[in-house]
Structure 1
């Protein structure tokens, strides 16, 4: 097949097979949401990311799936926006700083308050313990317990330890998200 016809073929294929998903990334301030999104979108990790005011949106392309990722600010004044941006999405990604154990009770409370909203029932939840490269981080089992994830029964729930800085487990995160596109 010549290059011209291959491009036409791939374009036509994309019309029928390209899937776009909406993903909302939330969590307390300084959990690493923006850094994670930057790395997932093919950018570089930067240590001095400024706090997100309101939200960012980036598209992440993986195969025939485009993830439209909304990264929402985690400061207390932005948490009331979370519900609005979580409505009708393919998945909610809740990011936690796994090395900041003092903030875990607040993160758990905010997550459970959000998930009580009936309009969000059934939306899959992926909890990510970011900063797994730091020495004082907690593991996945401790994170599941600290976030009380076993009590969440009205949706599919998964939990991974990741490092946006070291790019640890990011393929698993993308594969988990893309698998939700087929449902």
Structure 2
């Protein structure tokens, strides 16, 4: 109808429809995994000096005309209980893993599986970023995948990407994977 068309035109002109066309992404992981560095590497393609995130950071990232609203959520133990307040309408969960932190990989696995059991994330795709690949003795993406038992995530599309937040290595491929998940759906 003409009235519906006029309302849609108003949404376009006011920019409100742009908000609706953004795909929501959350970046989670334990403290010091590199979440904020990755967010700003996505945005600026440079390493940015960061400090521990208290609460969250949010930025819009465009990949070939696909727009993502990316929420970087603090990973300190005291903040993890509030992660679920960010889950609503999330299409992609990015889990950043410090590939050198073998001692806390079990905690990361527990947090991931607890998160993915939440009803708001039942349709979310999962991107695991195996960060700090430039460091000596870092675990490979395959080792991290096995430790997190990603093969058991039958209800979720998932991918593991080796990366280095400081140099940006591996991050363009992860953005392409994210875009493929929302464009395909």
TM-score w.r.t. length of structure 1: 0.86
Match of 1:30 among 24, 29, 32: 32
Tell me if structure 2 keeps the 8 A contact 1:19–1:64: no
Corresponding residue of 1:41:
43
Q: Aligned partners of 1:155, 1:43: CA distance in 2, in Å?
A: 29
- Over residues 15-51 of structure 1, what are the superposed CA-to-partner deviations in whole Å (9 max), with x where a residue is unaligned? 89x94211100000000000000110015313x5210
Alignment of 1:1-183 (within 5 A): 19-42=21-44, 44-46=46-48, 48-182=49-183, 183=185
Offset, 1:70: 0.1
C-alpha deviations, 1:43-67, integer Å up to 9, x for none?
5313x52100000001112221121
The count of residues paired between Structure 1 and Structure 2 equals 170
Q: Secondary structure at the match of 1:158?
A: strand
Contiguous gaps of at least 5 residues in structure 2: 1-11
Q: SS of 2:23's equivalent? A: strand
Q: Cα RMSD over matched residues?
A: 2.1
Runs of 4 or more consecutive aligned structure 1 residues displaced over 6 Å after TM superposition = none
Output the CA distance in 1 between the equivalents of 2:80 and 2:108: 11
Preserved contact between residue 73 and residue 83 of structure 2 (Cα < 8 Å): yes
Alpha-carbon displacement from aligned partner over 1:105-164 (angstroms, at most 9, x marks no partner): 111111111111233212111111111111110001100111111111111111111111
CA distance in 1, matches of 2:62, 2:154: 31
Partner Cα separation in structure 1 for residue 117 and residue 25 of structure 2: 19
In 1, distance between residues paired with 2:46 and 2:177?
22
Aligned partner of 1:3 in structure 2 is none
For residues 160 and 87 of structure 2, what CA distance do their matches in structure 1 show? Answer: 18
1:19, 1:181 within 8 Å by CA — same for their partners in 2?
no
TM-score by length of 2: 0.85
Give the Cα separation in 2 of the matches to 1:179 and 1:154: 18
Q: Secondary structure at the match of 2:137?
A: coil
Deviation at 1:181, TM superposition (A): 2.0
